[in-house]
Amino acid sequence: MATVYLSQKLVNELSKDIEKLFYKYGHLSFKERDEEEQLSYSIEYLIKKHINEGEKSEE
């Protein structure tokens, strides 16, 4: 886990970049499916706003 400081603009950009990576590797997986042995993996990511003391949650 890493704590990073980002503007909302950068959070949106990061989310889009991660989505592009999922599509890229899904496509590469499809292309290699008959050439290489593939195993099932679960990939998770979470972008969660860190709440500092004294801040109210937006939930």
pLDDT score of 38? 95
Q: Looking up tokens 């990939």, which residue turns up?
A: 43
pLDDT score of 56? 63
* Residue range 15-28: mean pLDDT, rounded: 95
Task: Return d(Cα 15, Cα 11) in angstroms, integer.
Answer: 6
* pTM for the model: 0.68
Q: Looking up tokens 């008959």, which residue turns up?
A: 34
pLDDT score of 3? 86
Q: What is the mean pLDDT of the chain?
A: 88
